[in-house]
Amino acid sequence: MRSAVAPEDLTARARIRDAAVARFGREGFGVGLRVIAEDAGVSAGLVVHHFGSKDGLRAACDEHVLAAVRASKERAVTATGVHDVLLQLASADEHAPLVAYALRSLQAGGQLARDFVDRFVEDAEAWIAKGVAAGTLRPSRDEAARARYLVVQGLGALVLDMALHPPADPTDVVAALHGYRSRSALPALELFTHGLMTDNTVLDAYLLYVGDPPPPDVPAPAPST
């Protein structure tokens, strides 16, 4: 599925932003404004006019990508894992550059990376709660912490896998995501289904040391001085 908006119908500001998203996603954030201006068919001065600086352009790209991924993910989200959500998004032509940019941002850190992870954590908490209520997932002592762990683990493994197994074409995000899923699906599902340890020895020892987490919405007691 391609974008319904023809390139000539985009404003200069939007063309610059989209060119920056695509170039940053392919090559990282060291790309200069002149390269992005050439991609957008405008002058470097017009880039500065619309965004003020490279930081301003990056901030606009962050806002655009996060909003687009959020809107699309609400239609595509499933309980199968964050990499499958990203694969569904990247499989649509107009979304692949957004996913590439988001993955670059995860590698680089920063506010978009934090917002991106937080959004996935919110969604994970929701589908995990449904699974627990339906009896298909085990409950946790700390549901919020478990959701965040699963998201960070999934995204972190994806970013590392893409660094170790980069696609032949840097723009082919779909191939990278397919490769990651083929390498990780079986061990992940086996681990989540059957577990790793055969008894509670390690968990019991840890809980003896740290205690159970406080119930939800109850603040932990302040440490004694």
Q: How far apart are CA 77 and CA 98, in angstroms?
A: 16
Which of 3.30.2130.10, 2.30.110.10, 1.10.630.10, 1.10.357.10 is the CATH number of 7-210?
Answer: 1.10.357.10
pLDDT computed for residue 79 by the predictor: 43
Q: How far apart are CA 133 and CA 143, in angstroms?
A: 13
Q: How far apart are CA 33 and CA 16, in angstroms?
A: 10
pLDDT computed for residue 9 by the predictor: 45
Per-residue pLDDT of the chain (225 residues; tens, 9 = 90+): 334 444 444 689 999 999 999 999 888 899 999 999 999 999 999 999 999 999 999 989 988 888 887 776 555 444 456 666 677 666 666 678 888 888 888 888 888 788 888 888 887 888 888 889 988 889 999 999 999 998 898 888 888 988 898 888 877 788 888 888 888 888 888 988 898 999 999 999 999 888 766 666 555 556 555
Which string of DSSP letters, residue by residue, matches 133-178?
HHTSS---S-HHHHHHHHHHHHHHHHHHHHHHS--SSTT-HHHHHH
pLDDT computed for residue 222 by the predictor: 60
Q: How far apart are CA 69 and CA 117, in angstroms?
A: 12
pLDDT computed for residue 224 by the predictor: 56
pLDDT computed for residue 189 by the predictor: 84
Tell me the domain boundaries of the chain.
7-210
